[in-house]
Amino acid sequence: MQKGHITGEIFEEKIANILNPNAQHREKAEMTLLERFDKFIVDGYRDGIFAEGRMRHYRVVYGALERFLATKNLRSITPIEFDADMLMELRYFFTNEYEYVEKYPYLYEGKRERDIPRQRRDMNTTITKLKKIQAFFNELEDKEEIVAFPFRKLGKKRKAAVLKERYDDPVYLYKDELLKVMYTNVPTTLQETKECFLLQCAFGCRIADFQSLTMDKIKVTEDGIPFIHYLPKKTLRDNIENIETETPVIRYALDLIKKWKFNFPILKYVTGKSGYNAKIKLLLQHCGIDRECKIFNDELNDNIYKPLYMLASSKLCRKTHVDIMNKVQVNMYAAGLHKDRSEAVNRYTKMELKDRFILMCTAFEQPIYKVDKQLNVIEE
């Protein structure tokens, strides 16, 4: 063939590629969407891109995607065939999956009751799932397995709107509200919840870290100050130096530790109708923690107000701890809960444990005390 000469066959091939750019990649997309997503998760965990916690989150998204495709009879669809319209339908499914439970009961057979959606999910939860789908398609595009992923086909403005997260004002207890919980008598059915909640507030750790605490995680300084130490699970993958969080144990927390030794049966189930989060709501309702808090309602597209106890969960503990520390002119870094490289932050994180102990005792209105190595309080 002479240079510059194009046959009819070549011409038709080039036109076909222009009209259907993904066609030339079909041979690379032999796996179904589900198979390729599974490979993405497996490879990401194997290569250290995902920590175990994030891998589990991807598995949750995989399960939801699998159920969505089953409702559409599209389990054999390939990544190339998954378009922007399907993405928007998936977005609806993520938010309103509870609507599909009765229509497709076989999809939920064998699932625990607490894992079956019974109400509309908030939009931030949906967006979190969509961003994991986006990361998957980003990799396919980077590896040239597809030409343009479905998010790109939404257009810039529509994509921004689809993935826009909304954050309400943080919900936490004021110190006087925490003290109210502390000194309010509660029925026997809520006593464990109360003591578990108060202990988590004293430490300000995330629920996964709180669940993993044992008596082995307590140490005592030479000055007789007890403290807990742990590697935060959420930041473990990026924590190259394995820097532990160290939090002093204030007096009421010590008493609860001695009583329970971190063995709270209620922590076996955090979510669900009778789980820890649900019990926290009942606890705060009983204690009269009903301050109105503003939240954004996706359906109304407007702010609404609800009593604090209705919004409560284990996440409240961390935010409460940080706010109480802030109120004594100590930011969250002084509490040892966040790390950063700025000089200002470093001054706080390098604060001696003894100084942080004194500040925490002041913040929570607890007495300063000392213990021996067996955690017995030393009377002075």
Across the range 268-287, mean pLDDT stands at 93
Tell me which of 152-161, 290-299, 302-311 is least confident: 152-161
Contact, 289 vs 171, CB < 8 A? Answer: no
Q: Tell me how far CA of residue 154 lies from CA of 58, 147, 160, 291, in angstroms.
A: 23, 14, 9, 41
Q: Which two three-digit tokens encode residue 368?
A: 């300063």
| Stretch 369-380: mean pLDDT | 92
Strands (E), 149-220: 218-220
172-176, 275-279, 346-350, range with the lowest pLDDT: 346-350
Averaged over 238-255, what is the pLDDT? 83
Between 7 and 42, the higher pLDDT residue: 42
Give me the mean pLDDT over the 218-237 stretch: 87
**Confidence tier at 115 by pLDDT (50, 70, 90):** confident
| Other beta carbons less than 10 A from residue 366's beta carbon | 17
pLDDT band at residue 233 using 50, 70 and 90 as cut-offs = confident
| Max mean pLDDT range (84-88, 104-108, 232-236) | 104-108
Q: Where in the chain is the domain with CATH 1.10.443?
A: 175-363
Q: Contact at 8 Å (CB) between 367 and 360?
A: no
CATH topology of domain 175-363: hpI Integrase; Chain A (1.10.443)
Q: How far apart are CA 90 and CA 95, in angstroms?
A: 9
Helices (H), 288-366: 308-311, 315-326, 343-349, 353-363
**Whole-angstrom distance, CA of residue 131 vs CA of residue 127:** 6
Question: What sections of 72-155 are H helices per DSSP?
Answer: 84-96, 123-142
Q: What is the pLDDT of residue 27?
A: 44
Q: Are 314 and 200 in contact (CB under 8 A)?
A: yes
Task: Return the pLDDT at 305.
Answer: 86
Highest average pLDDT, of 51-65, 112-126, 182-196, comes from 182-196
Residue 73 has pLDDT above 80, yes or no: yes
pLDDT at 26 over 50: no
Judged by average pLDDT, the poorest of 177-191, 241-255, 347-361 is 347-361
Closest CA to 253 of 366, 370, 355, 371: 366
Q: Other CB atoms closer than 10 Å to residue 340's CB: what's the count?
A: 12
Average pLDDT, the chain: 83
More confident residue, 155 or 379: 379
Give exposure, 6-20, as e/b (b: 16+ Cβ within 10 Å). Answer: eeeeeeeeeeeeeee
- Average pLDDT rounded to a whole number, residues 243-258: 94
Token pair, residue 168, equals: 């309400």
As a whole number of angstroms, the distance between CA 318 and CA 314 comes to: 8
Q: Which of 19-23, 204-208, 293-297 is the most confident on average?
A: 204-208
pLDDT at 8 over 80: no
CA–CA dist 27, 5 (Å, integer): 28
Tell me phi and psi for residue 333, to 5 degrees: -70, -30
Residue 40: band (very low, low, confident or very high) from pLDDT cuts 50, 70, 90 = very high
pLDDT above 80 for 64: yes
Containing 260, the helix (H) or strand (E) segment is: helix 251-260
Helix (H, G, I), strand (E, B) or coil at 32: coil
* C-alpha of 219 from chain center: 28
| Rounded alpha-carbon distances, angstroms, from residue 33 to 154, 261, 285, 341 | 19, 47, 46, 41
**Residue 247 token pair:** 């939090």
Q: How many residues does the chain have?
A: 380
